[in-house]
Amino acid sequence: MEPSNEFDELFEEMKDVERSREAKQNTWLSLKSRIEAKRKRNIFPAFIALAIVAIASFLFLTFSNPSETEQSAEPLSNEEVIRAVLEIEYNGPDRELLRLMNDWMKLQSETVTNNQEEYDQLLESKEYKDYINYYPATFGEYFSEGVLASLINANLVFKYDHHLEDAGIEMHLENVEIKQEKDHPNIYRPIIEVSLTNSEGQKIYHTLREEFIFSTSEPGKIGSYNGVKDGGGLELQQKIKYFNTYVVNDEDVKTPSIDVSFDTLCFNGRTPDQQGKVEFKSGCTSDTNQIQPIMTRIDNLFVKETTEQETRERGELLPEIENYQIYLTNEADKGTTLYTITLYEDGILVFAPDSNIGIVGDITTKPHVFLYEEIKLMLDEFADNE
Amino acid sequence: MEMEQLYKDHSDRVYSYIYLLVRHKEFAEDLTQETFYKAYKGLNTFNKQASTATWLLKIARNVTYDYFRRKRVIQFFSFDKVQDLESNALSPEGRFEQKEQLARMYDSLRKLKKDYQEVLLLRKIQECSIKETAYILGWTEAKVKMKMTRALVALKKEFHQEGGRANGTIKRIR
């Protein structure tokens, strides 16, 4: 029998997938309510727009002159303030902002202004006020006086929304890890993980850092909000703009092939401090309760073969940045390494058979910074010199 | 309502495709809902480069693939749920051999490379054309033909392997 039709009968049987009418109807009802909720968010009737202006104006005035009620309310912690700003900045595009901006642009293009007086009159329009009030209504409570205006002028808030709209991409804040500077408690440099999704559901991820400096004169308010040099903000813009080139080709993606039999996991960790002094940690365990959670976290990651460039870059990074190397071996013969997994501080993992310095092998297709921190804690639990 | 009609016309096909990937009725319903929600959001950008059904299957594949990534599931397909076979329309008597063949078929498919599984599922079960399969998988039509030929050869070899293989050679502590 030809291979092309030998299995036709069995394939035919596999087509028979049962689905109850009730389940189908329930799925439709859930879908319908989600669609309706989205429509309501998108359609802003005039009275809602008016209400927004009223609320925005109220908030603006309120934050300029804090009331007694507000003064007595529980203030947000610095971490909560950072999280709130990131939620707004990294979930988008904000359709309401885009709608208000388009209305204002449309009015400007449709109205001829011959002199400054006429333009000043335009600045009194509802469209302009709605647009400009949206910023303090959204971000006002988190920034100290005067800071938000300078951020708006420098396009440092709502900085990705136009790019997202142009590219037809949705951004979602996946994870935030907020780190406070040890020596400067007012400075925080959060690590932010976002996902980008196109209309066909293809998704990519990106990790970046930003910097928040809290005001000393107005505690709990942000006095400065910056991207960190080389923090990944520009790369995020590139990923939004050229989304398709960053979509991982499923063909090239696989999970690590850790095809060895082992009963012991050992590690060496290299952790430089801020003065450049390096601390080394190491340890071994044969306890499956300690090994299993670590392996479960790392052996389902998506990896591809390292390129020459990546190998070169990793070779330079290895003695520079914090890293942990995990060695799989056997209790009876710890001298023989069967498999090596190298975890870099930037969240990249390299998988290689045998004893390997950690630059050649299969490399993760995206950074896993949170996973790195998680595994580091697990390893530190059985470090000999902890 | 446009969306309701879209759902009525295509949801069974989308569901059956997803179901064969995840082999779990509730998850398949959830992912079907997610597929149509994404389709609703992307309806304005749908450029009719493919038929509506093909476009929906492409979204369904991405939604399901994303689900697997989030759940950190190694195998893309889960053809090994025997209880699914027990609950389908096969009668217990007279068709025992056929049932056994079907179980073996699921098992053989599960052991194939991911791209072989995908191309077989779309071409043979979803009855997609070469062009449609190429669109959904993001491959060229030549690649679909080549993979299809190799997939059938690999399936035949796996299916007829006497006694089958042990379930993987990886000895792991867990």
pLDDT tens sequence across A149-160: 888 877 789 999
User: Does some domain include residue A385?
Assistant: no
Is A234 in the same domain as A275?
no
Is A161 in the same domain as A57?
yes
- Closest among B24, B44, B34, B113 to B66, alpha carbons compared: B34
Q: Residue range B3-14: average pLDDT?
A: 92
Contact map slice: A 269-308 vs B, CB within 8 A: 288, 291-292, 295-296, 299-302
User: Does some domain include residue A25?
Assistant: no
Render pLDDT for B98-146 as a digit per residue (tens, 0 to 9). Answer: 677 888 888 888 888 878 888 999 999 999 999 999 988 888 888 888 8
Domain boundary among the residues B16, B46, B71 is at B71
User: Does some domain include residue B174?
Assistant: no
Both tokens of A210, joined, read 């930003």
What ipTM was estimated for this complex?
Answer: 0.78
In A, minimum Cα distance to B12 occurs at A19
Would you state the pLDDT for residue B76?
46
In the predicted model, what is the mean pLDDT of chain B?
76
8 Å CB contact of B15 and A19: yes
As to burial, measured by CB atoms within 10 angstroms (0-12 exposed, 13-18 middle, 19+ buried), residue A358 is: buried
Q: Residue range A127-140: average pLDDT?
A: 91
Q: Residue range A149-177: average pLDDT?
A: 88
Partners of A193 in the beta sheet?
A: A175, A207
Total number of domains in chain A: 2
Domain that holds residue B15: 2-71
What is the domain-level CATH number for residue B46? 1.10.1740.10
Task: Report which listed range, A50-64, A226-240, A241-255, is most confident.
Answer: A226-240
User: Does some domain include residue A251?
Assistant: no
Of the two residues B91 and A35, the one the predictor is more confident about is: A35
| A22 CB within 8 Å of a chain B CB | no
Is B14 in the same domain as B66?
yes
Would you state the pLDDT for residue B93?
44
| B16 CB within 8 Å of a chain A CB | yes
Q: A75: cis peptide before it, omega within 30°?
A: no
Per-residue pLDDT band at A56 (split at 50, 70, 90): low
Q: Nearest C-alpha of chain B: how many angstroms from A60? A: 33
What is the domain-level CATH number for residue A358? 3.30.1490
Is A165 in the same domain as A270?
no
Domain that holds residue A131: 44-65+77-246
Is A195 in the same domain as A276?
no
Helices (H) and strands (E) counted in chain B, each on its own, are 8, 0
Render pLDDT for A5-16 as a digit per residue (tens, 0 to 9). Answer: 778 888 888 888
Both tokens of A346, joined, read 């930037």
In chain A, pLDDT over 90 holds for what percent of residues?
25
Q: Can you say whether residue A376 is alpha, beta or left, with left for phi > 0 and alpha for psi between -120 and 50 degrees?
A: alpha
Residue B162 has pLDDT above 50, yes or no: no
User: Does some domain include residue B20?
Assistant: yes
8 Å CB contact of B101 and A10: yes
Q: Which of A14-28, A50-64, B148-162 has the lowest mean pLDDT?
A: A50-64
| Secondary structure (DSSP) of B62-120 | HHHHHHHHHHT-S-S--TT-HHHHHTSS--SSS-HHHHHHHHHHHHHHHHS-HHHHHHH
What is the domain-level CATH number for residue B132? 1.10.10.10
Total number of domains in chain B: 2
Residue B12 has pLDDT above 90, yes or no: yes
Is A231 in the same domain as A84?
yes
CB A340 within 8 A of CB A352: yes
User: Which residues in chain B are closer than 8 Å to A299, comparing Cβ atoms?
Assistant: 74
Render pLDDT for A311-337 as a digit per residue (tens, 0 to 9). Answer: 888 888 888 888 999 999 988 888 888
CB A284 within 8 A of CB A264: yes
